[in-house]
Amino acid sequence: MYGYNGKILRINLKDRTIKTEKLDLEMAKKFIGGRGLGTKILSDEIDPSIDALSSENKIVITSGPLTGTPTPTGGRYMVITKSPLSGTIASSNSGGFWGAELKAAGYDLIIIEEKADKPVYLEIKDEKVAIKDASHLWGKYVGQTTDLLQEEHGDKAKVLTIGPGGENLSFMASIMNEKDRAAGRSGVGAVMGSKNLKAIVVRGTGKVAVSDPEKLKVIFKDSIKKLKAHGVTGEGLPAYGTAVLVNIINESGMFPTNNFQSSYFDKAEEISGESLSEKYLVRKEACYRCPIVCGRYCKTDEVEGGGPEYETIWAFGATCGVSDLKAIIKANYWCNQMGIDTITAGATIAAAMELYQKGYIKESELDGVSLEFGNADAMTEWVKRMALREGLGDKMADGSYRLADMYGAPELSMTAKKLEMPAYDPRGVQGQGLNYATSNRGGCHVRGYMISPEVLGSPEKLDRFSLEGKAIWTKIFQDLTAVIDSLGLCLFTSFALGAEDYAKLYNAVAGTDHTAESLLQAGERIWNLEKMFNLAAGIDSSQDTLPKRLLEEPIPEGPSKGWVHKLDELLPEYYKERGWSKGGIPTGEKLKELGL
Amino acid sequence: MSIEVRLFATLREGRDKKIYVDYEEGLNGNAIVEKLNIPKDEVAIFLVNGRDLALDKELKENDVISIFPPVGGG
């Protein structure tokens, strides 16, 4: 058995039973692992139409076959569950070291069922697994919880935990590991909170067996060489981290400002990656076996910690009209402590600001905290209130769609399938907009990162306004991303590596005989399975859309002035490329072809 | 008349963030990059008024140029 440990850990929180089950290797390989395998298990074990916060929902935490192996960036894990925010499949990805530790403990994945009657945490020390009382941890911030659990279980133990956001069932709650790494999106932390599960501590001392260690050494060296030689993974990301995108996206006029009312922020320089490095950067940080080192650790006179990443800088910066980088770092810090997603948090504050600007939210509802665009001081207060569900923060905690809908103005929520879109205005980058609209988890940039060809010129430059070829590019990027997420690698490797490289790595580790084509087909299989989950959950293809503003209101100023998103022209071609019906449903023929 | 050139990320090392270059007829991106001593392989993205433009294309008075080395993220 190579690449996989062959073991599933099944935890029932109601009965307090802990079972080790054999992993069906044939099934695992069909869906690779990680995101794919987790989706397969969730689809088989739950009815997708259930309430995401009911005890019937399950949480599947998966590693990939390359997680915990010497493969570059092989430290990732995924959380697959039904999302309370979007109602779709949720599959949130995180780096750091926790995933590799789970693998070293001897498991490929954990299935968490039912609900504990009081707060508990899970302790995994190789084959020794226990459900423990977490009453002393409940209510504690992510940092405090992590410190307390490491005091108890040793520095080498890796801690995954929710914060008060997850405990209070905030729909934007994240699951955090090593304090600052987040399985951030889709409200996965609320599902953990609904089960009274505070944390999972893992310590593993084993090693993952590899099929062909000598061959892996050669492929490993070749991959490292490619990652080091590529401008983005070898120079751009190491030098400035993801925040370097602030200026380029703004200079292109697609940096959503004031809740997408504009797409050019005249104070972008003040919140740029260059300013971050100059004023607040303490050190750079790497995840498990990562040669890219894009992580930042920043410090102000008030707080210090990991981040902020590009999307976070945007979420608390331009889209809230804020140009104070120190305030953005503080809001990021409190999101990490409270365990809430920075993108949805910032974007929801921005939507609330517009609801206030347009008179929907009244002064009397604010309890003295400003909702003016540009008010930097108020942001952290709203972050705390959304995590604790206090005052107006209780309504905001359900995300921008439910908030705006409650005030009769759902069109002011900048979401796709109720998930807040991150930092690229689809009107200025047509392929990325198609990806937002069709992504199986909603408004997400990392389900098919079309910014890479459309703006950054990798692997080749596409005209960002042109519609030509965007449907097939989007499909391929989506399928390839599903592969990377399922293998247990970081998406950033895809700037320098291609499907063929991933096939070589996977084959050397797991003894498979994949080609680039067969691996991409596995990605397509995963994509279709996610789509089928959504359809069964009642999320049909009429929800493959974008907010009205982006389809009808041209960008008012800046380099992308005058553009709207042309989804109605792109969508039919996309469905065709996917081999789906005109109504966006996978055909029987397609499902058969994919073995579903 | 001049052309505003904005430099980003590592291209700022040893150079100003913003540089004004005198406009002359026939001026193109190649000439600008050469004038600023930027090695060609460090120019990953060359925007004129926020739009991609090939380095050999002629520039106009009052154009705003943004030059980036290889960058990425997400």
For residue range A26-58, list pLDDT tens digits in order: 999 999 999 999 999 999 999 999 999 999 999
CB-based contact, A275 to chain B, within 8 Å = no
Residue ranges in chain A whose pLDDT is less than 70: none
User: Which A residues in the span 166-225 are in contact with B, Cβ-Cβ below 8 Å?
Assistant: none
Based on its alpha-carbon atoms, the radius of gyration of chain A, rounded to whole angstroms, reads 22
Tally the residues of chain A: 596
Please give the full DSSP string across A121-137, using - where no structure is assigned.
Answer: EEEEETTEEEEEE-TTT
| Nearest chain B alpha carbon to A460 | B44
| Nearest chain A alpha carbon to B71 | A236
- CB contacts of A184 in chain B (<8 Å) are none
Q: What is the DSSP letter of A365?
A: G
How many other β-carbons are positioned within 10 Å of the β-carbon of residue A461? 14
Query: Between β-strands A181-183 and A175-177, what pairing exists: parallel, antiparallel or unpaired?
Result: antiparallel
Q: Which residues of B10-23 are buried (b: 16+ CB within 10 A; e: fewer)?
A: bbeeeeeeebebee
pLDDT digits (tens, 9 = 90+) for B37-68: 999 989 999 999 999 999 999 999 999 999 99
Is residue A315 classed exposed, middle or buried when 0-12, 13-18 and 19+ CB atoms within 10 A define those classes? Answer: buried
Domain boundaries, chain B: 2-68
Residue among A274, A461, A492 whose CB faces B9 most closely: A274
Q: Which residues of A535-560 are buried (b: 16+ CB within 10 A; e: fewer)?
A: eebebebebbbbbebbbeeebeebbb
Residue among A231, A309, A455 whose CB faces B70 most closely: A231
Candidate CATH numbers 3.40.50.150, 1.10.569.10, 3.40.1080.10, 3.40.50.720; the one for domain A239-413: 1.10.569.10
pLDDT bucket at B72, cuts 50 / 70 / 90:
confident
What are the Cα distances from residue A522, in Å, to A485, A575, B39? 12, 18, 42
Residue among B10, B44, B49 whose CB faces A239 most closely: B10
Please give the full DSSP string across A8-21, using - where no structure is assigned.
Answer: EEEEETTTTEEEEE
Nearest-Cα distance to chain B for A269, in Å, is 10
Tell me how far apart the alpha carbons of residues A409 and B4 are, in angstroms, rounded to a whole number.
Answer: 42
Domain boundaries, chain A: 7-203, 239-413, 425-593
Tokens 């399975």 — which residue?
A: A529
A7-203 adopts what CATH topology?
Aldehyde Ferredoxin Oxidoreductase;  A, domain 1 (3.60.9)
Query: Between β-strands A17-22 and A7-12, what pairing exists: parallel, antiparallel or unpaired?
Result: antiparallel
Is residue A333 classed exposed, middle or buried when 0-12, 13-18 and 19+ CB atoms within 10 A define those classes? Answer: buried
- Single-letter code of the amino acid located at A115: K
Going by C-alpha positions, the residue among A415, A373, A474, A8 that lies closest to residue A172 is A415
Asked if B74 lies within 8 A of A445 by C-beta distance, the reply is yes
CA atoms within 13 A on the CB side of A546: 28
- Single-letter code of the amino acid located at A20: T
Nearest-Cα distance to chain A for B10, in Å, is 8
Sign of CA dihedral B36, B40, B45, B46: positive
User: Which B residues in the span 4-63 are in contact with A, Cβ-Cβ below 8 Å?
Assistant: 6, 8-10, 12, 17, 44-45, 47, 49-52
Q: Do residues B3 and B47 touch, judged by C-beta distance below 8 A?
A: no
Nearest-Cα distance to chain B for A244, in Å, is 7
Nearest-Cα distance to chain A for B6, in Å, is 10
Q: Do residues A444 and A343 touch, judged by C-beta distance below 8 A?
A: no
The two structure tokens encoding residue A444? 């997400």
Tell me how far apart the alpha carbons of residues A323 and A317 are, in angstroms, rounded to a whole number.
Answer: 6
Asked if A235 lies within 8 A of B10 by C-beta distance, the reply is yes
What are the Cα distances from residue A516, in Å, to A509, A519, A577, B63? 16, 5, 18, 44
pLDDT of residue A89: 98
Q: Which residues of A5-41 are buried (b: 16+ CB within 10 A; e: fewer)?
A: bbbbbebbbeeeeeeeeebeeeebbbbbbbbbbbbbb
Going by C-alpha positions, the residue among A124, A113, A153, A126 that lies closest to residue A137 is A153
Asked if A457 lies within 8 A of B45 by C-beta distance, the reply is yes
| Nearest chain B alpha carbon to A253 | B50
| Nearest chain A alpha carbon to B63 | A559
Tell me how far apart the alpha carbons of residues A247 and B8 are, in angstroms, rounded to a whole number.
Answer: 8
Q: What is this structure's pTM?
A: 0.98
The two structure tokens encoding residue A403? 């908030």
Going by C-alpha positions, the residue among A273, A384, A386, A376 that lies closest to residue A317 is A376
Tell me how far apart the alpha carbons of residues A125 and A102 are, in angstroms, rounded to a whole number.
Answer: 9
pLDDT of residue B71: 85
Chain-centroid distance, C-alpha A214:
34
- CB contacts of A451 in chain B (<8 Å) are 74
Q: Do residues A221 and A317 touch, judged by C-beta distance below 8 A?
A: no
Q: Do residues A488 and A449 touch, judged by C-beta distance below 8 A?
A: no
Angle between helix A34-45 and helix A470-487 axes, rounded to 10 deg: 90
Tell me how far apart the alpha carbons of residues A186 and A443 are, in angstroms, rounded to a whole number.
Answer: 10
| Nearest chain A alpha carbon to B67 | A248
How many other β-carbons are positioned within 10 Å of the β-carbon of residue A502? 26
pLDDT digits (tens, 9 = 90+) for A75-103: 999 999 999 999 999 999 999 999 999 99
Residue among B10, B50, B74 whose CB faces A242 most closely: B74
- CB contacts of B69 in chain A (<8 Å) are 231, 235-236
Tell me how far apart the alpha carbons of residues A521 and A494 are, in angstroms, rounded to a whole number.
Answer: 17
CB-based contact, A226 to chain B, within 8 Å = no
Nearest-Cα distance to chain A for B29, in Å, is 17
- Single-letter code of the amino acid located at A40: K
Tell me how far apart the alpha carbons of residues A395 and A403 are, in angstroms, rounded to a whole number.
Answer: 6
Going by C-alpha positions, the residue among A354, A339, A328 that lies closest to residue A414 is A354
Tell me how far apart the alpha carbons of residues A238 and A423 are, in angstroms, rounded to a whole number.
Answer: 21
Tell me how far apart the alpha carbons of residues A225 and A371 are, in angstroms, rounded to a whole number.
Answer: 49
- CB contacts of A247 in chain B (<8 Å) are 8-9, 66, 68
pLDDT of residue A386: 98
Nearest-Cα distance to chain A for B25, in Å, is 24
pLDDT of residue A1: 84
The two structure tokens encoding residue B64? 């705003």
Asked if B66 lies within 8 A of A251 by C-beta distance, the reply is yes
Residue among B6, B50, B68 whose CB faces A560 most closely: B50
Domain spanning A425-593, CATH class: mainly alpha
The two structure tokens encoding residue A345? 């948090």
Asked if B8 lies within 8 A of A239 by C-beta distance, the reply is no
- CB contacts of B8 in chain A (<8 Å) are 244, 247-248, 251, 274
Q: Do residues A438 and A574 touch, judged by C-beta distance below 8 A?
A: yes
- CB contacts of A242 in chain B (<8 Å) are 72-74
- CB contacts of A555 in chain B (<8 Å) are none
Q: Do residues A38 and A109 touch, judged by C-beta distance below 8 A?
A: yes
Helix count (H) and strand count (E) of chain A? 24, 17
- CB contacts of B9 in chain A (<8 Å) are 236, 239-240, 244, 247, 273-274
Residue among B6, B52, B72 whose CB faces A232 most closely: B72
- Single-letter code of the amino acid located at A475: K
A with B: how many residue pairs have Cβ under 8 Å apart?
A: 94
Residue among B8, B69, B74 whose CB faces A451 most closely: B74
Q: Which CATH architecture has domain B2-68?
A: Roll (3.10)
Is residue A352 classed exposed, middle or buried when 0-12, 13-18 and 19+ CB atoms within 10 A define those classes? Answer: buried
pLDDT of residue A517: 98
pLDDT > 80? residue B1: no
Nearest-Cα distance to chain A for B26, in Å, is 23
Going by C-alpha positions, the residue among A413, A406, A450 that lies closest to residue A431 is A450
Asked if A310 lies within 8 A of B74 by C-beta distance, the reply is yes
Tell me how far apart the alpha carbons of residues A9 and A21 are, in angstroms, rounded to a whole number.
Answer: 6
| Nearest chain B alpha carbon to A557 | B50
The DSSP element (H or E) to which A160 belongs, if any, is: strand A158-161
- CB contacts of B52 in chain A (<8 Å) are 461, 463-464
Going by C-alpha positions, the residue among A491, A493, A502 that lies closest to residue A448 is A491
Nearest-Cα distance to chain B for A428, in Å, is 11
Mutation for testing the B interface, residue in A73, A251, A477 having most B CBs under 10 Å: A251
pLDDT > 90? residue B73: no
